[in-house]
Structure 1
């Protein structure tokens, strides 16, 4: 057998397979190290690894950046579901769903799941998800600015800093935003979903699809 140069993508595939099978028992960094070490060991023994059709069916037809299992996670987050609920709906261990979400967040460079949803809408990955029906949505100026902040991945503390208000005041502001959008979690009317709020913002034209939402319009 002849040796050949192995693309880094091969190690990434090995790492993805390890994470899929081991779920929460292995971290992303450990999987990456394992993938690189596996490829190095195989090539050192003279094995040649070539691309084939096995496993390619797991790739998403929506975008090359995605795997098939990424789409139900994105859809679930956009609908306000928790990782546990997504796991139940997809018959997948919760730890596996969580690890897949973390890997996707890291892969696209998002700060958190909320910014991941924003990136997914701007990239067109959510085009197949029907908008949730709402009446005419109108936001106060500070609520609109807060929505822009959430889509940029800011947490409550960062929103407070951006508005120069206290953490408690920022929580109240976000609460008004969630109420205006009706962004509660399904089956939990006393709890709101930041991811669902962002999804509704894109679905109903409150956030721009064609550009990033950095530098949200300031208050008048």
Structure 2
């Protein structure tokens, strides 16, 4: 039987749940390089060609139980800190270029984080013009971004 370290098993379970390396690093409080390195060592020990193959081999070896499961709900945060930050900065419907200036980044990065947020919050089925508002509302409902507090002046 293939022997994996406890950390490698953790990484394998998170990969099986659909987490990205960035999310794995965040979950395990390690750097992205550490997550990738652990994953690489785990795949080498299993003889896996890629991450999905590692999951299959992990199930076959009895390291993972049954079929790989979908992403678990809690304790995983549905949005990364950056996704929540971008969604909050974009909640007023401002153009991507304006939001990018607010966050000192590029419009492409803002677009990518918003798209990821839409997927995670389950609003991708809506028309493009409605996704941002729906994502903001859903994130607020789940307590992932703060409620808008406008002072009546």
TM-score normalised according to structure 2 size: 0.50
TM-score normalised according to structure 1 size: 0.36
Q: Which has the higher contact order (CA 8 A, sep 6+)?
A: 1
**CA radius of gyration, larger in:** 1
